[in-house]
Structures are given as C-alpha cells and as structure tokens.
Amino acid sequence: MVDDAREVVVRVQRGLRLLATVIMAPLCLGILLAVVDAARAGDPGVPLGRSGWTGYVVVGWAVSGLLLVAMAGSLLVLWRTEVRVGPWTVIRRTVFARRETGLQDLRRVVLRGPTTSSPTGPRPAAVLLVDKDGRTAAALRPTETGFTEALAVVHGWTQRRPDLVRDEDTAALLRAVGPRTPA
C-alpha cells in the first residue's frame, strides 16, 4: 500500500550541481577578489587596469556585477530547488518559497512531451502535477534524481484518484512504473 511509502525527493542530479559549482564558484571568487583589490587600492579601475571611474570601468563593473548575481543566483537555485513527493502531498521548495499541495487539491497528472520552443531553450519531457487552480504544483523530469520513485508514488495517487489521469500517454507511463511498495 502506498500509504506507508516514505517521501521521495526529486532534484537536479548531484553531478550537475557539483559541476556547476566547480565552474561558477571560482569565477564568483575572482570577481569578489577584484572588488577587494579595488577597495584596498581605493580606486575602482585597478582590477581593470585603469584609473578612476571611466566609461570602461563602469561597463566592466556592471558586467561583473551582473555575472556575479547571475552565477550566484544560479548556484543557489540549483542547490535549493527540490520537489518532495509524499503519500498524501507534494512540496515544491525553491530558494524563497515553499509550496505544499495535498492530494485532494490536485486536479490532474499529465505527461508533457519535450518541446523545442521556450524562452530558455528546449524543455525536456516532464510529468506535471496540476493543482485545482490550473497551476503546476510540481514538474517531475526524467533527468532528475528520484524521478522513477516519485512516479511510483504518483501512480499510487492515481489508484486512489483515477480522475487525475485523463490521457492514455500519462496512464501508460504510470502503468509502466507501477505503484511504489513500502520500504
């Protein structure tokens, strides 16, 4: 029975998070060291090989600031975003928000195929958990850790609430995974 199943955590693979950290952390550190050098010298242009607040220095610091915020923010999102799928709830946690949706508040479970057009580039296939307001409570992707285990829990949900699955593709995927058995 799925009621005894433990919570499954779905997140970006650890290897990708570590790789991103190995690449971005030294760049962030380099920018921060440039800030320290400028502060010690009392001249904002020193790290850029200039003197004073010239146009070149302003643009250099603006680009550096944007890169620092983007990289640090990306790392924070990679490490802090997760979806917890439990026997009766799904919890999506991001950097600044935590959203819990109970099984009774879900309207639909749907398989979304991969797309080639989105603002951030191609999106992989995902199983979307849609709440009663039509918003995506969580998206489970095959490239994330815990995907298969989470689908097994979702399959258990659909056994209790068959109305959650309305298309054959989603039903076939969930049947292929099967329900999760207690650990």
- 125 with 166, same domain: the answer is yes
- 36 with 24, same domain: the answer is yes
pLDDT computed for residue 69 by the predictor: 95
Question: Could you tell me the residue range of the domain that residue 49 belongs to?
Answer: 14-79
Q: What sign does the CA torsion over 134, 106, 8, 153 have?
A: negative
pLDDT per residue over 8-49, tens digit each? 999 999 999 999 999 999 999 999 999 999 999 999 999 888
- 75 with 86, same domain: the answer is no
Asked whether residue 183 is domain-assigned, the answer is no
Rg (C-alpha) for the chain, rounded Å, is 22
pLDDT computed for residue 177 by the predictor: 83
- 23 with 97, same domain: the answer is no
Q: What is the residue-averaged pLDDT of the chain?
A: 89
- 52 with 116, same domain: the answer is no
- 110 with 23, same domain: the answer is no
Confidence of residue 182 (pLDDT cuts 50, 70, 90): very low
Asked whether residue 118 is domain-assigned, the answer is yes
Q: How far apart are CA 36 and CA 178, in angstroms?
A: 56
Contacts of 12 (CB under 8 A, 6+ apart): 78, 81, 143, 144, 145
pLDDT computed for residue 180 by the predictor: 60
